[in-house]
Amino acid sequence: MCGITGIVHFAQDLRQQETLLRKMQAVLVRRGPDQEGIFLSENCAMAHTRLAVIDTERGRQPMERSTGGETYTIVYNGELYNTPELRRQLEHEGVQFQTHCDTEVILQSYANWGPGCVEQLNGIFAFAIWEHHSKRLFLARDRIGVKPLFYAEIPGGLVFGSEIKTLLEHPEVPHEIDSSGIADLLLLGPGRTPGFGVFRTIREVKPAHCGYYMHGAMRLYPYWALHAAKHTESFTETACHVRELVIDAVRRQMVSDVPIGTFLSGGLDSSLLSSLASAELAKHEEKLQTFSVDYRDNDRYFQKSHFQPTSDPTYIRCMERYLGSVHHWTVLDTPALAEALYRAVDARDLPGMADVDSSLLLFCGEIRKEITVALSGECADELFGGYPWYRDPDVRRINGFPWAQSTAYRARFLRPEIAKQIDAQSYVQSAYEKTISSAEKLPGESPLESRMREMMKLNLDWFMQTLLDRKDRMSMYHALEVRVPFCDYRIAEYLYNVPWEYKDWNGYEKGLLRTAMQDVLPPEVLWRKKSPYPKTHNPSYLKAVSEMLSLMLADKNAPILQIVRKEMLEHLLQSDESIQWYGQLMTRPQIMAYMLQLNYWMEKYQVQIV
What DSSP character marks residue 404? -
Q: Is 2 a catalytic residue?
A: yes
Distances (CA, A) of 126 to 1, 73, 166, 247, 341: 10, 14, 15, 25, 27
pTM of the model: 0.96
Of 43-47, 138-142, 504-508, 532-536, give the lowest mean pLDDT range. 532-536
User: Measured between alpha carbons, how far is 601 from 605 in angstroms, rounded to an integer?
Assistant: 6
| Cβ 530 vs Cβ 510: under 8 Å | yes
Tell me what pLDDT residue 308 has.
Answer: 61
What DSSP character marks residue 520? S
Best CA proximity match to 530, nearest among 492, 570, 583: 583
Tell me what pLDDT residue 584 has.
Answer: 78
Best CA proximity match to 392, nearest among 347, 462, 455: 455
What pLDDT, in 10s, does the model give residues 173-196? 999 999 999 999 999 999 999 999
pLDDT at 566 over 90: yes
Tell me what pLDDT residue 58 has.
Answer: 67
| Cβ 479 vs Cβ 28: under 8 Å | no
pLDDT at 535 over 80: no
CB proximity list for 165: less than 8 A, separation 6 or greater: 27, 28, 349
What pLDDT, in 10s, does the model give residues 96-125? 999 889 999 999 999 999 999 999 999 999
pLDDT averaged over the chain? 94
Of 55-59, 199-203, 325-329, give the lowest mean pLDDT range. 55-59
Arithmetic mean of pLDDT, 431-445: 98
Tell me what pLDDT residue 530 has.
Answer: 80
Tell me what pLDDT residue 534 has.
Answer: 73
pLDDT at 578 over 60: yes
pLDDT at 307 over 60: no
CB proximity list for 516: less than 8 A, separation 6 or greater: 239, 240, 242, 243, 246
Arithmetic mean of pLDDT, 452-472: 97
Q: How confident is the model at residue 357 (pLDDT cuts 50, 70, 90)?
A: very high
User: Measured between alpha carbons, how far is 385 from 405 in angstroms, rounded to an integer?
Assistant: 19
CB atoms within 10 A of CB 3: 29
Arithmetic mean of pLDDT, 335-360: 97
pLDDT at 309 over 70: no
pLDDT at 464 over 80: yes
Of 2, 44, 210, 379, catalytic: 2
What pLDDT, in 10s, does the model give residues 191-220? 999 999 999 999 999 999 999 999 999 999
